[in-house]
Structure 1
Amino acid sequence: MLHTQGLLFFLPTLLLVPLRVLGQFNNQNLTNTTQAFATAKIVPDVLSSFNPAALLGVEFTDPSTNQSVNVTPGILLSMEQTMKEPQFFLTANVTIPSTIPYVLVIVDPDAPMPQNNTESQFRHMLGGDFHVDNSSKLVNTSAALSDFVNPTPPVGSDPHRYVILAFIQPADFNSTAPSLVNASTPRNNFNLTTFGEAVNLGSPIAGTYFLTGPSSNGTNSSATTSSTSPSSSSSSAATSSGSLKAHDVGSKVTWGLTICLTMYSLVF
């Protein structure tokens, strides 16, 4: 068990990155995200449990308007809005050490359709070596194991769930993960739990999700043939968590200390 003196020593010895304050943080924000995952059946469809210690912000850029589109749990986005790789932000109520690397994963548990998810999970992105910069943005310093593939749910499908998760990166991730996931590894029928156990990934510290359905005109002109999206059961979660702001960060220290303690155990 960690002692207070150890934690106080640990924090000043690392380069700390101040987090931008974009709104009011409280435990209800994390509770809303957790409840949204349960309502959408992301627990247990993707994760056995979900107890976030931070908020994961995801920001797309709509190519038709060049406007930012922020993801809140359960938000319904169009294929066009999710065409480009998003930016990611990790926010908490204390400073986060910039030396800690993170793994980001995007999976679709509804491939090819929620009604018949025989190709679940589809891996839309998997990459390590993300670090928090001075604006709380997660910046990657190495090539992704699986580059981002935009959602392209097939015509006739219900909206898919696209689940985005952040993990603290294990020390040996760069030596163990590439043998399991690389450019030649099929993206469909990926199992995040199995992969996580193989590389000692642990539990996610933050996450969110969005919904995307097929385009209204019945064509998926921007689609890659293998991509997929999330299930109709999750649509009700958008209402229960719609007030959550993806970049909220604030004043209570309980969750921030949870992050620091986790990081402490990783480093020492």
Structure 2
Amino acid sequence: MIFCRFTDIGKGNSTAGIYLPHLIIKSQHISTTSRQCPESVLSLFVLTLLLVPNKVLGQFSDQSLTNTTQAFTQAQIVPDVLSSFNPAALLGVEFTDPSTNQSVNVTPGILLSMEQTMKEPQFFLTANVTIPSTIPYVLVIIDPDAPMPQNNTESQFRHMLGGDFHVDNSSKLVNTSAALSDFVNPTPPTGSDPHRYVILAFIQPADFNSTGPELVNASTPRNNFNLTTFGEAVNLGSPIAGTYFLTGPSSNSSASSTSPASSTSSAATSSGVGRSLKAHGIGLKATWGLTLGLVMYALS
């Protein structure tokens, strides 16, 4: 645990502090110098304070973040895959339908056909704060319903696992190294109910490129993968973003199906005051969550 102490400008007392990785702000009065706090942490902390008022009501959708969180609970991804899910950013996923060459955007819970999910998708990451292009991310796609939800004896099936994804100037996550597990398209067997395909983004640990391949490589079976066990072994931490889609056998899939969490409630859109308050409440929480991850990466 790291403790950073700041000086109260108004009183000259060293009463303000931040505990990392758990953020506890004891005072809003901070000085620009500190002998007990690494300069990189202080700089990023102050930068975040400057960014929050400008970004919290920007293009980032807090309602979409809330929808995603609720969708994970409704689909029982929490607790089937994750013990909890508190995303700080939005993960966009875009497939290309090979039959039409049209883009297919994933919204949480959307039902897609096997044909639509045949090619590896593109990934995008957006948040309330500017995401540095130097920070690497780990992406994983798993199926907790293999071989079928009625009898998931091969859960979890690892459809993709890779690191060294970086955000470019269009928010796209671009990979700069070979994946530990290349993308394998969904192929739920005949007679199966639609499967949940869960896509998660993590801030990459500093030693992931050495620890990851020791546990997952080309010879590692894809079935019976355990994301929690793997994450603990490589210090992956909690996901900062995620989404999921459904795919069943050809007769069960439909491109016209929509996500149960894609609509915005009338209560959230009817009042500008209510919307602003909600944006500040949720947006600040999301901002701190992502910022802490970036801080810890900088310190690693």
Q: TM-score, normalised by structure 2?
A: 0.73
Q: Which residue of 1 aligns with 2:259?
A: 238
Q: Which residue of 1 aligns with 2:185?
A: 150
Q: CA deviation at 1:94?
A: 1.9
SS at match of 2:231: helix
Alignment partner of 2:294 out of 254, 263, 268: 263
Equivalent AA in structure 1 for residue 202 of structure 2: F
Cα distance in 1, alignment partners of residues 187 and 135 from structure 2: 33
Cα distance in 2, alignment partners of residues 8 and 257 from structure 1: 14
Bigger radius of gyration among the two: 2
Equivalent AA in structure 1 for residue 293 of structure 2: T
Contact 1:46-1:109 at 8 Å conserved across structures: yes
* 1:141 to 2:176 alignment: yes
SS at match of 2:233: helix
Contact 1:107-1:163 at 8 Å conserved across structures: yes
Q: CA deviation at 1:103?
A: 0.2
Q: CA deviation at 1:129?
A: 0.4
Q: Which residue of 1 aligns with 2:4?
A: none
Could you list the structure 1 runs, at least 4 aligned residues long, displaced by more than 4 angstroms after superposition.
2-8
Q: Which residue of 2 aligns with 1:159?
A: 194
Cα distance in 1, alignment partners of residues 84 and 174 from structure 2: 27
SS at match of 1:97: coil
SS at match of 2:259: helix
Equivalent AA in structure 1 for residue 226 of structure 2: N
Contact 1:55-1:207 at 8 Å conserved across structures: yes
TM alignment of 1:56-75, pairs within 5 A: 56-75=91-110
SS at match of 2:92: strand
Alignment partner of 1:33 out of 50, 60, 68: 68
Contact 2:194-2:252 at 8 Å conserved across structures: no
Q: CA deviation at 1:31?
A: 1.5
Deviations 1:57-112 (A, max 9, x none): 00000000000000000000000000000000000122101111000000000000
Cα distance in 1, alignment partners of residues 60 and 175 from structure 2: 26
Contact 1:146-1:183 at 8 Å conserved across structures: yes
Equivalent AA in structure 1 for residue 134 of structure 2: T
SS at match of 2:140: strand
Q: Which residue of 1 aligns with 2:130?
A: 95
Contact 2:187-2:249 at 8 Å conserved across structures: yes
Cα distance in 2, alignment partners of residues 120 and 217 from structure 1: 21
Cα distance in 2, alignment partners of residues 205 and 159 from structure 1: 26
Q: Which residue of 2 aligns with 1:51?
A: 86
Contact 1:96-1:260 at 8 Å conserved across structures: no
Contact 1:102-1:167 at 8 Å conserved across structures: yes
Cα distance in 2, alignment partners of residues 183 and 26 from structure 1: 38
Q: Which residue of 1 aligns with 2:43?
A: 9
Cα distance in 2, alignment partners of residues 173 and 92 from structure 1: 23
Q: Which residue of 2 aligns with 1:78?
A: 113
TM alignment of 1:164-243, pairs within 5 A: 164-216=199-251, 238-239=259-260, 241-243=261-263
Higher relative contact order (CA 8 A, sep 6+): 1
What runs of 5+ residues in structure 2 fail to find an aligned partner?
Answer: 1-17, 20-24, 33-38, 48-57, 265-278
Q: CA deviation at 1:262?
A: 2.0
Distance 1:267 1:154, change over 3 A: same
Q: CA deviation at 1:257?
A: 3.9
Cα distance in 2, alignment partners of residues 60 and 151 from structure 1: 12
Equivalent AA in structure 1 for residue 233 of structure 2: A
- Same amino acid, percent of matched pairs: 80
Cα distance in 1, alignment partners of residues 71 and 194 from structure 2: 16
Q: CA deviation at 1:24?
A: 4.6
Contact 2:139-2:202 at 8 Å conserved across structures: yes
Q: TM-score, normalised by structure 1?
A: 0.82
Deviations 1:198-223 (A, max 9, x none): 000000000000000001299xxxxx
Aligned residue-pair number: 238
Equivalent AA in structure 1 for residue 245 of structure 2: F
Cα distance in 2, alignment partners of residues 51 and 96 from structure 1: 18
